[in-house]
Amino acid sequence: MKHKNYIGDEAQIIVEHQYYKSTGLKKLKRMKNILLFGLYIGAVAVIVNFANGKNIKEAFADNIEHVEEIDKKNIIDMSTLSIEEKLKLKYYAKYTHNDEIAKLIYREVHEQGVDIYAMLALIKAESDFNPKAVNYNKNGSIDRGLCQLNSFVFSDIKIKDFFDPAINIHYGTSHFKWCLDQADNNLVKALALYNAGYGSVTKTKVGERTLNYIQDILNTMQEIKVEEQKFLDQYKDLLR
């Protein structure tokens, strides 16, 4: 299902936002672009059965903190990082095309115990690192910012705060960590839960777009790892 995605006041693009919907197993098996279909079917069993955004918000409520608690200035103490960590951070800045966003992601994943490759790939899939990305959903909710935070789930956040990278990445990482916890740290399940938003996820109701979403993120994670190593190899003399 395609929806208009407005970025800023001047440009608008069309994006596809993913929803779970009933799809026959035979049809799914014929999907040529899903190489790990068997894995997904095994992993994405009954994950969540929330009827609406209110239920998700209530379940996630303990993870929502006051925005005043988020440090937007002292992102990372660079003096505490090793040479390798500094080089990796330099690569993440190159990958995201934004030094501040890279540092914010780095800080949040380390504070919340989330895999940085998964978070980078997730934000890449959600917004392509555009802090002003907006997507309008059929159910009336709106996804905003880098992590495409949903307005139903994060109804207490002021509209302007959705577009603040520090706030958005903090809540996005926190929500993804919650998804991982609900999925017993199964990455495939967690990605399905983060992407689904609403509805029941069963092995007979895994939508094609959600499977594509998961595949895309897994592929991107691998690409990031490979490119990161190539980047580090340029500084072998410093890492000895």
Q: What is the DSSP string of 107-152?
A: HHHHHHT--HHHHHHHHHHHHTT-TT-EEE-TTS-EEETTTTEETT
pLDDT value, residue 69:
63
| pTM: predicted TM-score of the whole model, two decimal places | 0.74
Q: Which residue has the higher pLDDT, 106 or 204?
A: 106
Q: Which two structure tokens, joined as six digits, stand for 157?
A: 């956040």
Phi, psi angle pair for 210, to nearest 5°: -70, -40
pLDDT at 170 over 60: yes
pLDDT value, residue 51:
36
The 3-state DSSP class for residue 158 equals coil
Q: Which two structure tokens, joined as six digits, stand for 9?
A: 């006041």
pLDDT value, residue 57:
55
pLDDT at 49 over 70: no
pLDDT in tens, 201-239: 544 465 788 889 999 999 999 999 999 999 999 999 988
pLDDT value, residue 158:
93
In order of their start, the domains of the chain are: 2-239 (1.10.530)
**CA dist., res. 30 & res. 214, Å (int):** 17
Phi, psi angle pair for 81, to nearest 5°: -90, 145
Q: Which residue has the higher pLDDT, 67 or 239?
A: 239
pLDDT value, residue 16:
33
